[in-house]
Amino acid sequence: MIRFYVICLVLSAVTKRGDSHSLWVFATYILGDTQFPPFNVVLMLDDVQVGFFYSNETGLINTRPSSGDNDTQYLRDGSIIFEDMFQSMRRRVHMFKDRLNSSEGLNVQQRLVGCEISDQDQDHQMMSSDAFNGVKTEKLQILSEESYSLESTWSMKLTKTKVEFVKHLYISFYLPVCIKTLKTFLKKYQKVVLRRVKPRLRLFQSAESPSGSVKITCLATGFYPRHINLTILRDGQPAVSDHQISGGELLPNGDETYQMRKSLEVSTEELQQHRYTCAAQHLGLDNKLNIDLDHHRELNTTTLSLSVLGAVAACLLGTSVVIIICCKRKTGKGSQTSLQSNYSPTQSSEREEIEGTEL
């Protein structure tokens, strides 16, 4: 069976520096009988989808709604680039299918290509990567006109003429168009991609396992942008090497924010002897945010104790009020009987005063 890697899985492999912005194109060409369009393209600004193209009998269709004069140039450039990408990927999928004697089922050619600029607009770079049926076939990276690399992971002969042609095509056409489109989208969607939402941090421990170990988990959630540095510290220093810490995957929330958790297993003796801290660095924070495990437990214990004391005090107060009311009613009834047996007109005002007090 052909392994089909959807585009959203490729997104997890794309890294982005905290001080930069990127524009990525995820293109897929499918050869075979499928319910999906043969060719589709997703356009991402950082981690926000800003465009989607797909092919049908008449050509490429853009599903992004028109919203300004800049869309004309965007559609013109997009049509040229995506049409060229469509033809290139169609040739490649047939070439690899014949060369590898692939089955008559689904054959998938995918391409990830994009550019990145720094916040200061000083550093520009571009990258492209191709894969056939989930296996990488070619990678291109451009850091500058002097720093350029084109690698083939298959036994494909890359002549000097071909390397120079691809280099000229990307540096002279694709890179300028990508950077221009990236800046246009940044201006248009700056309220979305430039927002800063600081993370909420929690540090908690699971119940002790039969082996006597305890899992400490550091959770950061509700933050944007997605780049975050999450660390578990022991006595103020990095607790252990990275291979001893599990987790660390970046996951999306349903409100366009992200979450990440890291866990560490320690013995109960280590838990008592050391102080464990969860530390986070993020663009939404002015400084590093630290949450201490001991403080977290003491805080929970103190909160619980105060809650219990408050409940006990409320019960005692309620009981006291009931006792006082009962005693008062009994005293009032006894006084009323005594007054009725010794009633005289001269004591009328005193009786009214006592009855008023009872009520």
In a domain, 313, yes or no: no
Write the CA distances from 310 to 299, 303, 321, 323, integer angstroms: 16, 10, 16, 20
* Confidence at residue 102, expressed as pLDDT on a 0 to 100 scale: 78
In a domain, 277, yes or no: yes
In a domain, 345, yes or no: no
Q: Number of folded domains in the chain?
A: 2
* DSSP codes joined into one string, 312-324: HHHHHHHHHHHHH
- Which residue, of 298, 326, 342, is where some domain finishes? 298
Structure tokens at 188: 């248009």
- Asked if residue 173 and residue 220 are part of one domain, the reply reads no
Structure tokens at 57: 């009998």
Q: What is the CATH number of the domain that holds 185?
A: 3.30.500.10
Does residue 25 carry a pLDDT above 70?
Answer: yes
In a domain, 49, yes or no: yes
- Asked if residue 164 and residue 239 are part of one domain, the reply reads no
**Which pLDDT tens digit goes with each residue over 324-338?**
555 555 555 454 443
In a domain, 357, yes or no: no
Q: What is the CATH number of the domain that holds 216?
A: 2.60.40.10
**Residue 354 parent element (H or E):** helix 348-358
In a domain, 83, yes or no: yes
- Asked if residue 225 and residue 100 are part of one domain, the reply reads no
- Compute the distance between CA of residue 139 and CA of residue 127 in angstroms, rounded to an integer: 8
Q: Are 277 and 217 in contact (CB under 8 A)?
A: no
Does residue 108 carry a pLDDT above 90?
Answer: yes
- Asked if residue 215 and residue 175 are part of one domain, the reply reads no
- Asked if residue 218 and residue 69 are part of one domain, the reply reads no
* Confidence at residue 166, expressed as pLDDT on a 0 to 100 scale: 84
Does residue 147 carry a pLDDT above 70?
Answer: yes
- Compute the distance between CA of residue 298 and CA of residue 279 in angstroms, rounded to an integer: 18
- Asked if residue 65 and residue 205 are part of one domain, the reply reads no
Average pLDDT over residues 183-199: 88
In a domain, 330, yes or no: no
- Asked if residue 211 and residue 169 are part of one domain, the reply reads no
- Which residue, of 193, 225, 260, is where some domain finishes? 193
- Asked if residue 162 and residue 236 are part of one domain, the reply reads no
Residue 163: which domain range?
Answer: 7-193
- Asked if residue 83 and residue 227 are part of one domain, the reply reads no
Does residue 70 carry a pLDDT above 60?
Answer: no
- Asked if residue 204 and residue 128 are part of one domain, the reply reads no
- Which residue, of 267, 298, 329, is where some domain finishes? 298
- Asked if residue 104 and residue 36 are part of one domain, the reply reads yes
Residue with more model confidence, 296 or 93: 93
In one-letter notation, the amino acid at residue 85 is M
In a domain, 14, yes or no: yes
Question: Which of 11-20, 113-122, 288-297, 320-329 is most confident?
Answer: 113-122
Question: Which of 71-75, 78-82, 285-289, 300-304 is most confident?
Answer: 285-289
- Asked if residue 127 and residue 151 are part of one domain, the reply reads yes
Radius of gyration of the CA atoms of the chain, in A: 35
Residue with more model confidence, 130 or 343: 130
